[in-house]
Structure 1
């Protein structure tokens, strides 16, 4: 009997799909930091018209899928707090992807595409 394999999209494939979808909707998606192609954690830096909305991380959920979870400092804490958080994350996880999305409802676009 053949063993069933669980096909899983790689981080690089998910990021590519997200970039195409955001671009197709008239927004901008930029890879700030390229992580591990296969299983790097994906961190979304969400903006709308250049204004920081927040950081969101793709995390496993209890149902065996994925969800986006807000992480890092609140935008009101300023750019320096955000930069320090991102620097700490990169030091602790060199395989981390950081993707900047500038589009209305960036969190929704990310959740629908990579979760």
Structure 2
């Protein structure tokens, strides 16, 4: 795994308000193992799904990608994509009223990078 991906995991963990010990426990590994992942150590694929669930992210977000691939290790982008997924699910499931859904969508549109920003 790359150091950048380890940094992404650390950022995602902090954004979720979790300690390394909490993520390790939820993932079913020792804290030293999880700490190693944040430092860039390789992880076994069997830990990806529990890690995604522990951090509240998609499986795609926590899956390391080959250097130079089109996927991103930018925490803000991946967390933003995760938020969009969560809002879409809440709207679909009827857990957000029309007004709340519009407010959330407006916020997400403001946060989303535009083509001019790229």
Please indicate the TM-score interval, normalised by the length of the shorter structure: under 0.3
Larger helix fraction of residues: 2
TM (norm. structure 2) is 0.26
Say which one has the larger Rg: 2
TM (norm. structure 1) is 0.27
Q: Which has the higher contact order (CA 8 A, sep 6+)?
A: 1
Larger strand fraction of residues: 1
